[in-house]
Amino acid sequence: MKLERHAIIKGVIFCETGLRIGGSNDDIEIGGNDNPIIRNPVTDLPYIPGSSLKGRMRSLLELKHSAITQQTGKPCDCGQCNICKIFGTHGTHKARESVLGPTRIIVRDAFLTSESVKELKAANQEKGIYYTEVKHENLVDRKTGKAEHPRPNERVPAGSKFDFEIVLRIFENDNENAALNLIREGLSLVQKEYLGGSGSRGYGKVRFINTTIDGVPFVLEEGK
């Protein structure tokens, strides 16, 4: 297969509500939060793994378009559809059997914009906020109304922004427009739902802003 070119989609992920993508609690200090988010191990700043955005786009597209997912709840591994072509075929043997070739999409890790780093550092110095917020939740006894089992969840505050980048590899005979429309639809579906965890409780509402492809506007669905 001949690789013809790369199309580069860039933009900003704007968090309209708190965003939670869980990290490891292996290094929790005494008194620390036992539900931490993922952070850059060098800078300690929160980031969004490319796998989280890619996986969320794919899962929503499969729920909408894949009969396999709709019937079994499992990822599509047909090795024939456009989702498998763009996002890659699940399963080693399926990937070997597939004639679709290499995965077309590369989703980079998304890091805080310089503007958000500045704002969160200021909040850290002025208010002691460690680049995140801690949201406390609990269960409520239906009969007594008493709150039970309190749990703190760390999350990135609403208003934070992350730079994101998606690379689309275009091979000879690929339908570029079909691939771009699938990516556009995947991003729009994430906007309609959520990114990260606890979306049904209000977390992870995001909006993709200033999106471009190779430097020109890349418009998502109308009004999104």
pLDDT in tens, 110-149: 999 999 999 988 887 777 777 888 888 888 888 888 888 8
The three-class DSSP label of residue 134 is strand
How far apart, in whole angstroms, are the C-alpha atoms of residue 206 and residue 10?
15
DSSP annotation of 81 reads S
In what helix (H) or strand (E) does residue 216 lie, and over which residues does it extend?
Answer: strand 216-217
d(CA 195, CA 205): 7
Q: What is the pLDDT of residue 32?
A: 56
Mean pLDDT calculated for residue range 85-104: 79
Q: What six digits make up the tokens of 213? A: 């492809």
Mention every residue, 6+ apart, whose C-beta is less than 8 A from residue 127: none
> What is the per-residue pLDDT for 24?
64
Q: Which residue has the higher pLDDT, 113 or 36?
A: 113
Q: What is the mean pLDDT of residues 91-96?
A: 66
Across 26-35, 87-96, 125-134, least confident range = 26-35
What three-state secondary structure class fits 167?
A: strand
| Segment among 14-18, 50-54, 101-105 with least mean pLDDT | 101-105
Q: Tens digit of pLDDT for each residue in 177-212?
A: 999 999 999 999 999 999 998 889 999 999 999 999
pTM over 0.85: yes
Q: Rounded to 5 degrees, what angle do the CA atoms 101, 62, 224 make?
A: 105
Please identify which residue in the block is written with the tokens 């965890």.
Answer: 197
pLDDT-derived band at 87, boundaries 50, 70, 90: very high
**6: phi > 0 → left, psi -120 to 50 → alpha, else beta; which?**
beta
Q: What is the pLDDT of residue 29?
A: 52
State the virtual CA torsion across 5, 6, 7, 10 in degrees, nearest 10. Answer: -160
